[in-house]
Amino acid sequence: MRLRAAIWGEAAPARVCVVLTGLTEWLEKYEEVAGELLVRGFTVVSFDWRGQGQSARLLEDSRKAHVTDFAEFDADLAAFLEQIVKPLGGAPRIALAHSMGAHILLRRLHDRPNDVAAAVLCAPMLRVHTGEYPMWFTRVLTALFNFHVPSESFVWGTEERDPLTLPFSENRVTSDPARYERSQKFLVQHPEMRIAGPTFGWLGAAFKSMDALHAPGFPEAITTPLLIIGARKDQIVDVEAVHDYAQRLPNARYVEFPGAEHEILMEIDPIRAQFWAAFDAFVEEQLG
């Protein structure tokens, strides 16, 4: 599996920030964030998950996000940490992870709590909104689609939400028109990198993984210091589930931004200022 990774900053860093992106995202979308981390003294490392960005795609239709099991993402993260992050040396290391990236990081930290000194999780994918269909119906439908093999069909309603043509007024992830337009312009220049949405195979794997993360004892076993940030206006993940999960983590602090939508790091400047204030205080506490 070919994965694309990036390093911003010094090859012999004083400290490292591992940035883990969400579903449908790509490295270039985080260049502004990388720059803000650089001025804070971090070398920044990130990569494109399989099936998105410029990493290898799994299906002929590259607009589909697809896996059969989230263990595939575990393998991506393990390879990235071993081949890209480890050679940077023993500098203090934190993670900044968004949505699906935060979900996969929690899986990793359950088994390897010392991979990073601390982590900041933005709108972690712990329970998803299912739109016009109730959760029970979506789960039954997903199970039917995946009855024989993981389905490669788009989840209903996602194929029509092409990021090349979706107007800002219909987006569900940010209230910042300028940053939304910036991402859309990039995809117009690189249309092969866009993803419209997940398959039912991806959704079935996500439900299985979310159930595992909520199992008795799972969050209680994650001891890494965590800052969990929820977005009150989130239309993608359930912010109440994020809040409740944070209470089960033995070494976590929860902060919620009332005006934020799902992509906190792509939000308007006042919300991002709140984020960086919380981030800086947490990092100072953890790394000094």
The whole-chain average pLDDT of the chain stands at: 96
Nearest Cα to 250, choosing from 271, 206, 276, 219? 219
Task: Tell me the mean pLDDT in the region 196-201.
Answer: 96
Q: How many helices (H) and strands (E) does the chain have?
A: 8, 9
CATH architecture of the domain with residue range 5-287: 3-Layer(aba) Sandwich (3.40)
Of 186, 213, 25, whose CA–CA distance to 104 is shortest?
Answer: 213
Give the pLDDT band of residue 11 (cuts 50, 70, 90). Answer: confident
In three-state secondary structure terms, 79 is helix
Residue 137 pLDDT level (bands cut at 50, 70, 90) = very high
- Distances in Å between the alpha carbon of 246 and those of 23, 75, 131, 228, 282? 21, 25, 24, 7, 15
d(CA 49, CA 57): 10
Reduced to 3 states (helix: H, G, I; strand: E, B; else coil), residue 267 is coil
pLDDT digits (tens, 9 = 90+) for 211-267: 999 999 999 999 999 999 999 999 999 999 999 999 999 999 999 999 999 999 999
pLDDT at 288: 80
Question: How confident is the model at residue 12, as a pLDDT?
Answer: 80
Q: Give pTM, 2 decimals.
A: 0.96
- Listing DSSP states for 201-256 in one string gives HHHHHHHHHHHHHTSTTTGGG--S-EEEEEETT-SSB-HHHHHHHHHHSTTEEEEE
Q: What is the pLDDT of residues 62-118, one digit of tens each?
A: 999 999 999 999 999 999 999 999 999 999 999 999 999 999 999 999 999 999 999
